[in-house]
Amino acid sequence: MDEPVLLTGAGGHVGQTVLDGLAGKYDWRLMYHSQPAEEPAFPYFTGEVQNPGDVRPAMEGVGAVVHLAGDPRPEAPWDSVIANNIDGTHTVYDLAVQEGVDRVVFASSNHAVGAAETDEPPPDIYRAHDEFRLDGTEYPRPGNKYGISKATGEIIGRYYHDTYDISVCNIRIGNLNEEHPPVDYPRGQAMWLSTRDCAHIHDRALQANYGFEMVYGISDNDSKYYSIERAKEVLGYEPRDNSAEWDGKEKLTE
């Protein structure tokens, strides 16, 4: 991609992971909620993502947006998810269309379907032998208000794709847990997303050809209840990590 790419939420955990993994590959424009502690290596902007006056200068001249900004707390209260997540996502899409941006990659979340694993989730769905899968065709089924905001962000993207033909990729991000899977947490191990796979799936979402897509962002774990087949097929996603290759914080194989 020759044009700059805007990364909102650049100071967050996912944003820093994407930027660390892809710093040399794109001409980034960064947006932070507040002044970063250290001077970024790319042009940056600060402000409220729901405020068009703050977002518009960051959006000018970019070819794509990776939209990660918002309140990431699963327990976030309604007034915060309305302002930061729902209004913020609407602002990003609206300005993307106004500025002629071709593509938005939206950081959705496993919380958009947090109540959809099963009605009474048995431990077996977190084990390698179980075949239960969510594949992105299911209806949203959030388990908290943060999940409502992420499901709403997906729907906002659907509207802007259908109405304005902007390319949209929603990535339902699993458990991004530093450089190793979560310890003693089978559910988190089943939806683990390594840092390098996180950067890679966002890279593919910026490069691949698609219209509107819904994919799951997890590594290729032996135990999984999210399907990554759509991400492989449409985006060319080739995850390199697997939570089964770890014993706690120690990797068993190279």
Q: Find tokens 């939209």 and name the residue.
A: 67
Q: Find tokens 């991004």 and name the residue.
A: 176
Active site annotation includes 146: yes
- Are 59 and 95 in contact, with CB atoms under 8 Å apart? yes
User: Which amino acid would we find at residue 243?
Assistant: S
Give one word for 186, left, alpha or beta, with left for phi > 0 and alpha for psi -120 to 50: alpha
The catalytic position among 32, 126, 146, 237 is 146
DSSP secondary structure of 41-104: SS-EEES-TT-HHHHHHHHTT-SEEEE--S---TT--HHHIIIIIIIHHHHHHHHHHHTT--EE
Q: Find tokens 């990797």 and name the residue.
A: 251
Question: Among all residues, which ones are annotated catalytic?
Answer: 146
